[in-house]
């Protein structure tokens, strides 16, 4: 299983890099073939999809948590009955999503009748029906993915996601080339996503997943709801942070503003992925350790070690965006999208703090303290809405980014307070150990990068050379200045394992 976690994490990073490369190459093609208006509609429907899928109420994490518990006890009958109870509840939830999707469909004229024309609203209605059906199936089949995660089959999960992304992009390029628009993009994406869900069912069955209802246990569902309810509130809050801005911009300014803003926000999901790639593969082990009675000092040690790895990866991307983001946007999409750079900076800089150490959320979930985080973060999301509406009116799309960043900072400070007050984790000690060596290394490489990139970057080749040299310099600085001896040994061991694996492939 340790090998599954290692290669699963590596495949996660490979998946993120592939997704980013596809986004870099495919987005200009998508924008040029859809146009600003259609691209804006595509992102509006993406926001709706996020709101529908979030209605799984955060149950996925709780299902994983209890499946791991059943596996630990090796009780297959209880596991089968638990899955049956879970599926019944998810079916009800899926039907609820269908009802809400239809309500959204009937409300589109009221929501966007002022800023969008009849043709745009008609397209939104078709796409709403498609994403509603897709969201229903995605939510209903969530226990299948949870079973695969609890079995720690991370290689399969990440490899299947890579194949899905490549296949989706290839098919979309063909359809867009022949003149199809946003409706077809949403249709193709939904069909391929459903195909992957069906493939996961087959794989889970091969792993031994069986579903049999020996007895309907309402208390089991209530237990799941109790565990997942605060997760749902937090997930909903995060959707408000990252998706509501699109809807507010569409309502207050129009679809073209959403198009530019969406470019600035599109990289935050990849940014987040670099952080969660580690915490996801470590999740089953962390839950197992916490169930075994890990104390505050042990939790702080785990939190620090994982956070440092996350920080080293995240800060490479963040500092690169700070130095080269503007040149990238100008070369990629032109001056019309320059505001996307400021949207990126305003949201990603505070968000980087949130992502360093997001494994702390598992601590709160397992210790039944997640309601504290849910309450505080939900409050900040409501404040975020008020700030964002005011800021959009004053500063347009940049104002929306300001509102979002303020909410993220408040949420980060609040969670750290909860960790200290409820779990006894020494936050000051954690932050000192987190940034020990890393802060000095980052300041050093940023200063070097600024001097190195002071000349105008006016071509992709020049930008690529700058990024390559900066990345190498960053890695060297992090290794010799930031990493402690244990981290250097882990890095060297990982490098050795990869090279050995590559060598064995060559021999074969």
Q: What percent of the chain has pLDDT over 70?
A: 81
Give yes or no: residues 137 and 172 share one domain. yes
Give yes or no: residues 151 and 229 share one domain. yes
Give yes or no: residues 447 and 346 share one domain. no
Domain finish residue from 402, 435, 468? 435
For the stretch 147-173, pLDDT in tens is: 887 777 777 877 888 888 889 889 988
Domain finish residue from 389, 411, 435? 435
Q: Which of the four pLDDT bands, split at 50, 70 and 90, describes residue 3?
A: low
Residues 6+ apart with CB under 8 A from 190: 130, 131, 133, 134
Q: pTM to 2 decimals?
A: 0.68
Give yes or no: residues 194 and 214 share one domain. yes
Does 5 score more than 60 pLDDT?
no
pLDDT value, residue 319: 92
Q: Which of the four pLDDT bands, split at 50, 70 and 90, describes residue 52?
A: low
Which of 367, 381, 385 has the alpha carbon at shortest distance from 411? 381
Domain limits at 481? 436-508
Give yes or no: residues 349 and 489 share one domain. no
Strand ranges in 202-241 using DSSP code E only, listed in sequence order: none
Does 307 score more than 70 pLDDT?
yes
Q: Which of the four pLDDT bands, split at 50, 70 and 90, describes residue 442?
A: very high
Dihedral sign (CA 65, 71, 72, 73): positive
Q: Are 38 and 179 in contact (CB under 8 A)?
A: no
Give yes or no: residues 131 and 175 share one domain. yes
Give yes or no: residues 151 and 68 share one domain. yes
End-to-end Cα spacing for the chain:
24
Give yes or no: residues 260 and 134 share one domain. yes
d(C-alpha 320, C-alpha 446), whole Å = 9
What's the Rg (C-alpha) of the chain?
23
Give yes or no: residues 125 and 168 share one domain. yes
Give yes or no: residues 457 and 507 share one domain. yes
SS3 152: coil
Does 241 score more than 70 pLDDT?
no
Give yes or no: residues 410 and 455 share one domain. no
- Counting the structural domains of the chain, the total is 2
Give yes or no: residues 302 and 387 share one domain. yes
pLDDT value, residue 441: 93
d(C-alpha 356, C-alpha 310), whole Å = 6
């Amino acid at each position: 299983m340790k090998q599954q976690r290692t290669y699963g994490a590596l495949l996660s990073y490979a998946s993120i890099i592939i997704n980013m490369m596809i986004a870099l190459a495919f987005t200009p093609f998508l924008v040029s073939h859809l146009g600003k208006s259609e691209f804006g509609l595509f992102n509006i429907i993406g926001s709706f999809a996020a709101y529908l899928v979030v209605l799984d109420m955060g149950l996925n994490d709780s299902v994983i948590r209890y499946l791991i518990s059943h596996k630990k006890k090796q009780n297959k009958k209880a596991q089968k009955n638990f899955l049956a109870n879970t599926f019944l509840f998810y079916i009800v939830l899926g039907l609820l999503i269908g009802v809400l999707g239809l309500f959204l469909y009937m409300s589109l004229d009221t929501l966007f009748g002022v800023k969008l024309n009849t043709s745009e609203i008609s397209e939104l209605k078709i796409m709403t029906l498609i994403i509603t059906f897709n969201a229903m199936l995605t939510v209903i089949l969530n226990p299948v993915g949870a079973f695969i995660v609890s079995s720690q089959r991370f290689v399969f999960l990440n490899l299947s996601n890579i194949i899905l992304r490549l296949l989706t992009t290839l098919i979309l390029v063909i359809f867009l080339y022949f003149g199809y628009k946003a409706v077809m993009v949403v249709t193709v994406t939904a069909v391929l996503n459903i195909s992957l869900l069906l493939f996961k069912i087959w794989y889970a069955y091969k792993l031994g997943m069986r579903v049999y209802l020996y007895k309907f246990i309402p208390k089991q569902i209530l237990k799941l709801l109790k565990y997942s309810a605060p997760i749902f509130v937090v997930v909903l809050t995060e959707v408000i942070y990252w998706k509501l801005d699109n809807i507010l911009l569409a309502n207050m300014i129009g679809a073209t503003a959403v198009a530019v803003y969406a470019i600035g926000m599109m990289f935050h999901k990849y940014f987040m992925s670099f952080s969660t790639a580690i915490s996801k593969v470590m999740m089953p082990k962390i839950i197992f350790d916490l169930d075994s009675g890990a104390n505050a000092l042990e939790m702080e040690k785990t939190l620090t070690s994982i956070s440092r790895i996350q920080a080293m990866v995240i800060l490479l991307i963040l500092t690169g965006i700070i130095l080269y983001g503007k040149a990238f946007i100008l070369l990629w999409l032109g001056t019309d999208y320059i505001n996307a750079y400021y949207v990126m900076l305003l949201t990603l800089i505070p968000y980087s703090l949130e992502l360093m150490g997001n494994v702390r959320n598992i601590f709160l979930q397992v210790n039944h303290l997640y309601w504290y985080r849910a309450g505080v973060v939900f409050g900040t999301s409501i404040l975020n809405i008020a700030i964002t509406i005011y800021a959009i009116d004053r500063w347009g799309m940049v104002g929306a980014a300001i509102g979002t960043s303020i909410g993220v900072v408040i949420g980060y400070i609040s969670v750290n307070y909860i960790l200290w007050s409820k779990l006894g984790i020494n936050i000051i000690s954690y932050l000192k150990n987190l940034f020990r060596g890393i802060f000095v290394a980052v300041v050093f490489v940023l200063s070097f990068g600024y001097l190195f990139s002071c000349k105008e970057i006016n071509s992709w080749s020049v930008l690529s050379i700058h990024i390559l040299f900066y990345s190498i310099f960053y890695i060297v600085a992090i290794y010799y200045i930031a990493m402690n001896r244990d981290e250097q040994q882990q890095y060297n061991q990982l490098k050795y394992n990869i090279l050995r694996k590559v060598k064995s492939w060559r021999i074969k």
